[in-house]
Amino acid sequence: MSNKLLEIEDLCVNAENKEILKGINLTINKGEIHVIMGPNGSGKSTTANAIFNNPLYSKTQGTIRFCDEDITNSKTDEIARKGIFMSFQMPEEIPGVSVTNFLKYAKSKSTGKPVKIFEFKDELKKYMEELNMNSKNMERSLNVGFSGGEKKKNEILQMLVLNPKLAILDETDSGLDVDAIRTVSKGIEMFKNSENGILIITHNTKILSSLKVNYVHILIDGKIVKTGTQELAKEIEENGYSKYKNI
Amino acid sequence: MSKTNIEEINRNIYDIKNKDEYDYKIKKGLTKEIIEEISKQKNDPIWMKEFRLKALDVYNSLEMPTWGPDLSELNMDDIATYVRPKTGLSNSWEDVPEDIKNTFDKLGIPEAEKKSLAGVGAQYDSEVVYHSMKEELIKQGVIYTDMETAVRKYPDLVKEHFMKCVPVNDHKFVALHGAVWSGGSFVYVPKGIKVDIPLQSYFRLNSPESGQFEHTLIIVDEGASLHFIEGCSAPKYNKVNLHAGCVELYVKDNAYLRYSTIENWSKNMLNLNTKKAIVGNNAKMEWVSGSFGSKISMLYPMSILNGENAKTEFTGISFAGKGQNLDNGFKVIHNNINTSSIVNAKSISKNGGTCTYRSLVRVNETAKNSKCSVSCESLMLDDISKSDTIPTSDIRTDEVEFSHEAKIGKISDKTIFYLMSRGISEEDAKAMIVRGFAYPISKELPVEYAVEMNNLINLELEGSIG
């Protein structure tokens, strides 16, 4: 069995007829945490959306494989069911659909098996406690009236419940206070094991301090210009991106 | 919630067509002779026969309404207004002819009766074929029977209330109803009696090129309470069918009435129904309404708040698909001090369907210190569907709190993408969003009806993804 989870090869992506990604290569193996850093507009979120084949983005070149299967043109829901998860920068609000019902439904879809409601609720409660979430949120409409922090925690909750092979966290830390960032990191640690992988897309390094990151990639103007270790993130924190902008 | 649920549901349940067998079907059209014949066939008392003939005159004197959907395809010369089924009224399902019983079985009526209802009435074409109520309620003096029996057995109660809440000259189709009405339910809840379990009447129109004109009259006396459920459906034919029922509700002082409707007429039906309630001191009238079927619907239930502190709530949803024009809404008249009304209306349109929310709020000078809050939300599932809001308010006092909020929206691609990223298919994602949109309404329905409503939504959405 191959150790590879995600393999992106020479990926070029347009959004609104503008070329955003200009040839990305990225391989994530089981047990690895990867980080993509980069200034605004460099294509970080486009990478996440392209992996999920968001119809608003069009791929002009390259392939994406997941567990040795070509998913370049698969539908978003199929990609999710193969075991990829994405935490959204701005999670959508779904009035009238409770967190419990939504997750129960999503879980039954991702596992292909019916969910046992009592076990499921216990599991949900346990995770919510770990994430310092109000258990009353279980019965509230998904993300409706949630604060920014609650929404982000809810994304982490979904990750834990759906237990994907690869989790992509798109700016999950942005706009969070120190305590919330700590909670999110805790959720990531709970999730992490030797069989799964994580791709963190971020602006800042706070979220990385408590995690054992394997690779840091610097994305500038649609290209990965530098790959390094956690040290590279520190360097960016101190000096910014200017050094890499004119490569 | 699951896909299998969607597949289990079959519009065929509603589309079962029994053979057009009947004991008597009046010839098509609307003349004095026809009305006299209906009256004779129904064995009316003289006052009722005279009432019908007067109503026919009113019908002939009134113009067709032109302010709403186009009704030009309706030709009364093509409609048989009275079809007596091949069976009499029974209080045992055993005695109902098998094909008719099977239809109600498939609609789940006898099953619901066993599980969650205190009484059931079932009308097939123009007459009620089944009526039954739990013994305890009979002992408490509750009356629940078909309208014809009420006319015979309780003439004083009927005369005092029949078409007094909805006067015969209200509009053309009320006049039509007055002339040809048949069937429907009569309920009387005596003072102080709380009926905890709902009563339900189900109206089924089987006969093609015909009309259903049932009359529902409910009196909830002082301090009493009741939940009444009305269900309706019909199989689809190629020619127009007409429904012009009339519902009159009297909610006396300190009384409570909830009137829930799930309407799933077939898409060749013109549903021109009239419903009104008169609400007394400290009394409360709640309307819950799900409108799914019919080709054209014009339905604006109305609460007349006559008593001090009288309250009303309207919670309703309409779902229009291809070729449907659902012009629904609510009317309220505040006549006394401290009255309040809350309206929560939603509509969904898809595949070129049209939903219009049309409403009237009138607060008279006598209604000081009243409150009215209206919220309507529309969801359009594609670019070819239509949605409109036409509210009218007529406020004649300064001492009133009035608010109106209207929202029209579409399902956003972002939301669908979000749900799909959790492994949910596009079709299921849409259904989930629509069910969530409808949830504030469906949670107000009895649970079997909430399930039925979700099933109807799934049914309506099936195959709607291109």
Domain of residue B434: give its range. 414-466
Nearest CA to B434 among B403, B464, B405?
B464
On whether residue B40 sits in a domain, the answer given is: yes
With an 8 Å Cβ cutoff, are A97 and B412 in contact? no
Per-residue pLDDT reduced to its tens digit, B387-431 = 999 999 999 999 999 999 999 889 989 999 999 999 999 989 999
**Residues in Cβ contact with A86 at an 8 Å cutoff, skipping those fewer than 6 apart:** A48, A51, A52, A167, A168, A169, A170, B421
Under the phi-then-psi rule, with left for phi > 0, alpha for psi from -120 to 50, and beta for the rest, what region is B421?
alpha
Q: Count structural domains, chain B.
A: 2
Q: Is the pLDDT of residue B140 over 90?
A: yes
With an 8 Å Cβ cutoff, are A86 and B426 in contact? no
Q: Is the pLDDT of residue B28 over 60?
A: yes
- Taking residue A108's Cβ as centre, other Cβ atoms within 10 Å add up to 18
Q: Are residues B405 and B259 in the same domain?
A: yes
Which among A77, A92, A104 has the least Cβ separation from residue B425?
Answer: A77
Which among B414, B423, B435 has the least Cβ separation from residue A80?
Answer: B423
On whether residue B145 sits in a domain, the answer given is: yes
The CA-CA-CA angle for residues B316, B317, B320, to 5°, reads: 150
What mean pLDDT is reported for chain A? 93
Nearest CA to B415 among A146, A110, A95, A152?
A95
Dist. CA A218–CA A36, nearest whole Å: 6
Dist. CA B218–CA B143, nearest whole Å: 10
Q: Are residues B119 and B75 in the same domain?
A: yes
Q: Are residues B120 and B253 in the same domain?
A: yes
Question: Three-class SS of residue B129?
Answer: strand
Contacts of B6 in chain A (CB under 8 A): none
CATH of residue A28's domain is 3.40.50.300
Dist. CA B449–CA B262, nearest whole Å: 7
Percent of chain B with pLDDT over 90: 73
Q: Is the pLDDT of residue B61 over 70?
A: yes
Chain B, 424 to 453: residues with Cβ < 8 Å from chain A are 424-426, 428-429, 432-433, 435-440
Nearest CA to B201 among B184, B224, B221?
B184
With an 8 Å Cβ cutoff, are B439 and A95 in contact? yes
* Cβ of residue B33 closer than 8 Å to a chain A Cβ: no
Partner residues linked to B146 by β-bridges: B185
Q: Count structural domains, chain A.
A: 1
On whether residue B1 sits in a domain, the answer given is: no
A–B CB contacts, 8 A cutoff, strictly below? 81
Mean pLDDT is lowest, of A174-183, B209-218, B351-360, for: A174-183
Q: By CB neighbour count within 10 A (0-12 exposed, 13-18 middle, 19+ buried), where does A39 fall?
A: middle
pLDDT for B3: 28
Half-sphere exposure of A199 (CA within 13 A, CB side): 26
Q: Are residues B407 and B461 in the same domain?
A: no
Dist. CA B348–CA B380, nearest whole Å: 6
pLDDT for B108: 84
Question: Three-class SS of residue B119?
Answer: strand
pLDDT for B458: 74
* DSSP assignments along B284-318, one per residue: EEEEEEEE---SEEEE--EEEE-STT-EEEEEEEE
Q: Please state the separation of Cα B458 from the chain's center in Å.
A: 21
With an 8 Å Cβ cutoff, are A96 and B439 in contact? yes
Contacts of A101 in chain B (CB under 8 A): 1
Q: Are residues B402 and B379 in the same domain?
A: yes
Q: Helix %, strand %, coil % for chain A, to 5?
A: 40, 30, 30
The ipTM (two decimal places) reads 0.96
Q: Are residues B194 and B287 in the same domain?
A: yes
Nearest CA to B304 among B364, B349, B348?
B364
What mean pLDDT is reported for chain B? 91
Q: Are residues B359 and B427 in the same domain?
A: no
* DSSP assignments along A146-193, one per residue: --HHHHHHHHHHHHHHH--SEEEEESTTTT--HHHHHHHHHHHHHH--
Question: Three-class SS of residue B3?
Answer: helix
Q: Are residues B352 and B375 in the same domain?
A: yes
Q: Are residues B327 and B389 in the same domain?
A: yes
**Side chain identity at B279, as an amino acid letter?**
V
What mean pLDDT is predicted for residues A143-158?
95
* DSSP assignments along B135-203, one per residue: HHHHHTT-EEEEHHHHHHH-HHHHHHHTTTSS-TTSSHHHHHHHHH----EEEEE-TT-B--S-EEEEE
Both tokens of A236, joined, read: 């960016």
pLDDT for B226: 98
With an 8 Å Cβ cutoff, are A96 and B440 in contact? yes
On whether residue B203 sits in a domain, the answer given is: yes
Q: Is the pLDDT of residue B7 over 60?
A: no
* Cβ of residue B386 closer than 8 Å to a chain A Cβ: no
Question: From chain A, which residues contact B within 8 Å (Cβ)?
Answer: 52, 54-56, 75-77, 79-81, 85-86, 88, 91-92, 94-97, 101-102, 104-106, 108-110, 114, 141, 158, 162
Closest CA in chain B for residue A144: B436
What is the least distance, in Å, from the CA of B161 to any CA of chain A? 40
Which among B418, B423, B439 has the least Cβ separation from residue A110?
Answer: B423
Mean pLDDT is lowest, of A128-132, B17-21, B141-145, B295-299, for: B17-21
On whether residue B6 sits in a domain, the answer given is: no
What is the least distance, in Å, from the CA of A80 to any CA of chain B? 5
Half-sphere exposure of A2 (CA within 13 A, CB side): 12
Residue with tokens 């009133």: B400
What is the least distance, in Å, from the CA of B422 to any CA of chain A? 6
On whether residue B2 sits in a domain, the answer given is: no
Q: Are residues B371 and B424 in the same domain?
A: no
Binned at pLDDT 50, 70 and 90, residue B462 comes out as low
With an 8 Å Cβ cutoff, are B423 and A92 in contact? no
Dist. CA B263–CA B277, nearest whole Å: 19
Question: Three-class SS of residue B382?
Answer: coil
Per-residue pLDDT reduced to its tens digit, A225-239 = 999 998 999 898 888
**Residues in Cβ contact with B263 at an 8 Å cutoff, skipping those fewer than 6 apart:** B230, B231, B232, B233, B271, B289, B290, B291, B292, B293, B294, B297
**Residues in Cβ contact with B199 at an 8 Å cutoff, skipping those fewer than 6 apart:** B117, B118, B119, B120, B121, B133, B144, B185, B187, B226, B227, B228, B229
pLDDT for B465: 40
Q: Are residues B165 and B270 in the same domain?
A: yes
The more confidently predicted of residues B113 and B36 is B36
With an 8 Å Cβ cutoff, are A75 and B420 in contact? yes
Dist. CA B413–CA A54, nearest whole Å: 10
pLDDT for B1: 29
With an 8 Å Cβ cutoff, are A94 and B2 in contact? no
Q: Residue B306 phi/psi, 5° resolution? A: -90, -30
Nearest CA to B300 among B325, B275, B265?
B275
Nearest CA to B14 among B104, B131, B110?
B104
pLDDT for A247: 58
The more confidently predicted of residues A234 and B337 is B337
pTM exceeding the 0.90 threshold for the entire prediction: no
Q: Are residues B50 and B197 in the same domain?
A: yes
